[in-house]
Amino acid sequence: MSFVTLNPGDFVVSADSITSTLWSDNTTTLVNYFTSSTAITNNAYLPVYNVNPASNTSALPQFTISYGQINGSGSAPLNAAIPGKSPTRITYGQFRTLITGDENTNLNFGAGNTNSPDFYVINISRANYKEKLFLSTFNLALSGSDGINPSLIKLTNNSADVTSLTYCDAGRVFDIVSGSNGSSTTSIPANSSAAGYTVSGSYGKFLPDVGLIILNARALALSASFGGIGLSPNTGNTSNALGSTNTGLYNSLKNASSFGFSLNSEETITSDYVFVRIQNSDFNYTTNPSMISGSGEFYYPSLINNPQTYITTVGLYNDNNELLAVAKLSKPLVKDFTKEALVRVKLDF
Amino acid sequence: MGFLNNTSVTVDAILTKKGRELLAKNDGSFRITQFSLSDDEIDYTLYNPNHPSGSAYYGEAIEAMPILEAFPDETQIMKYKLLTLPRGTAKLPVLDVGYAQITLRQGASLAITPQTLNYLGATTTFEPSGYTATIGDSRVLATFNGVGVNTTEAQALNSSTTIGTNVSKTVVGTTINLTATTVNTLFGTRSSLSTILIITGRDSGARITIPVTITKVTS
């Protein structure tokens, strides 16, 4: 016999959370931002790269920037005869539906902006964040001018401050606040009543399960003393206006590039452990042609009564003897009638 | 007084091409139920029963062998299975199919009835559980099935089909029927197609690999 049936107790399924760096170059903090000269239809969004796509053809977008406005201002209508139905309106409706699940409920960034008419969206590339964003690693620096205080703001989510999770239609949701590593700062901007928040509410929403960062445009538009960076969207009804708005946030990222954008990904890897139990009386003979002649006789007579084999490979089969998975040992494992072995085979999905 | 080593060896497995195919089929056929072991890569001529340091060192050269990573091609791995046989077995089972190689013209058929030599004291026997036959490239055969084993699993296996590129196909039976393809486009500019047929005894684990050549019939 060359097959051994596995028992139910030989299988263990384990799910482990694996965190890793999010950006393509495996760095924890993105400090270089580039855009492509390739035009996006209607300037609906702006892909941001970690290397220059003009000189590196394998460059991949790390995230995109887009802007949504409830009335469609800030971009050209898709059809001049139908005002208001523009890319900014589409973006607003798209993310409002995704986040609130209700076309009649606008985004609520808290006291000062409970019915927000607009927002920026940073949409992390799915291949980068794998399954979800890792909460307390989120640190994003923005600056309205040249990265020098006080126009510089450092944002994080409030995942370390909250005592209970809040869910929306897009999974877990956290406020984006001024602070670092998941904790709000203790300083309170002018006219604000809470540390880390502005008079126009939080800086945005952090949605780790869908890889989205929604930034409160009203908070960013505030002046430095109120906790903002003076970033205002272009309200013109032209395609270039939306390009200008997206580029405005991009420039705010670049201005603060010395602090960068740090974020990690999180992924649940489900592993199937199969315990292969090798009894002393099993697998002591081999069909290896270097041990036996064409007629099946041993080359070494001493192996007749004391056969010895070397396990190198474990094959996992279905009932039809079809080889489904295979594992190799790092070195040959000697086996004879006096030895037993336990091999734990890990199969990741 | 020391502690006994109770640790297990942990190895990472990869899915084979067949495993991925069956996973994609999502028909329940991807279900691990049994295992087997092999000593692929091991060259037993390195075994040295005359080692001056004694019997503990007979396998020294083999144990020092660095092992390659696993191959995903199920026809190229688990080639030399380890067997469970009674102690004192003097001759190991080998398969005899009557052919060292198979050459078929397009559309021609062949029935193979394997036998096992030296198995459980019998000089020649037909294994009760039959034989597993795997063709490396299922496209080269118009029909490929096994007869003589009537279990549900064997019948399901014999009737399964995967369309597309060169995937292997496995059937079970005491007799394996092959009919060469009649599709000309597979040949392209070549006059023949080649693949391998692997036959394994389901009881003994003995295995034989036979080259298969399909020759084009010029019309």
pLDDT of B5:
52
pLDDT score of B218 more than 80: no
Contacts of B145 (CB under 8 A, 6+ apart): B158, B159, B171, B173, B176, B177
Q: Kindly state the DSSP code that residue A43 receives in the 8-state scheme.
A: G
- Band of residue B8 on the pLDDT scale cut at 50, 70, 90: low
Q: Kindly state the DSSP code that residue B121 receives in the 8-state scheme.
A: T
* More confident call, B161 vs A289: A289
Q: What is the mean pLDDT of residues A223-246?
A: 92
Peptide bond into B72 cis (omega under 30): no
Q: How far apart are CA A198 and CA A177, in angstroms?
A: 9
Residues A236-256 have pLDDT tens digits of: 998 899 999 999 999 999 999
Mutate which of A312, A329, A336 to disrupt the B interface (most B C-beta within 10 Å)? A312
Distance from the A276 Cα atom to the nearest Cα atom in chain B, whole angstroms = 7
pLDDT score of A69 more than 60: yes
- Out of A327, A333, A334, closest to residue B12 by CB: A327
Q: Say whether B14 and A300 touch across the interface (CB within 8 A).
A: no
Per residue, the 3-state secondary structure of A242-293, as one string, reads HHHHHHHHHHHHHHCCCCCEEEEEEEEEEEEEEEEEECCCCCCEECCCCCEC
pLDDT of A41:
86
Q: What is the mean pLDDT of residues A315-329?
A: 91
Contacts of B33 (CB under 8 A, 6+ apart): A5, A6, A317, A318, A319
Q: Say whether A288 and B44 touch across the interface (CB within 8 A).
A: yes
pLDDT of A145:
67
Percent of chain A with pLDDT over 70: 98
Q: Looking at the complex, does the CB of residue B28 fall below 8 Å from at least one CB of chain A?
A: no
Q: Which residues of B touch A275 (CB under 8 A)?
A: 8
Residues A158-215 have pLDDT tens digits of: 999 999 999 999 999 999 999 999 999 998 888 887 899 999 999 999 999 999 999 9
Angle CA B74–B76–B79, to nearest 5: 95
Nearest chain A residue to B57 by CA: give it: A334
Residues B76-96 have pLDDT tens digits of: 888 888 989 888 888 888 899
Distance from the A340 Cα atom to the nearest Cα atom in chain B, whole angstroms = 11
Instruction: Please report, in angstroms and rounded to a whole number, the separation of the first and last CA atoms in chain A.
Output: 30
pLDDT of A156:
97
pLDDT score of B141 more than 60: yes
What kind and span of H or E run contains A100? helix A87-100
pLDDT score of A348 more than 70: yes
Q: How far apart are CA A23 and CA A61, in angstroms?
A: 10
ipTM associated with this complex: 0.80
* More confident call, B161 vs A226: A226
pLDDT of A313:
94
Q: What is the mean pLDDT of residues A136-148?
A: 83
pLDDT of B56:
81
Q: Say whether A287 and B35 touch across the interface (CB within 8 A).
A: no
pLDDT of B166:
67
| Residue for token pair 């691990």 | B32
Q: Say whether A346 and B36 touch across the interface (CB within 8 A).
A: no
pLDDT of B219:
59
Nearest chain A residue to B7 by CA: give it: A342
Residues B144-198 have pLDDT tens digits of: 989 988 887 777 777 766 666 667 888 889 999 999 998 888 888 889 999 999 9
Q: Looking at the complex, does the CB of residue A283 fall below 8 Å from at least one CB of chain B?
A: yes
pLDDT of B162:
63
Q: How far apart are CA B114 and CA B119, in angstroms?
A: 13
A111: its two tokens: 């006291």
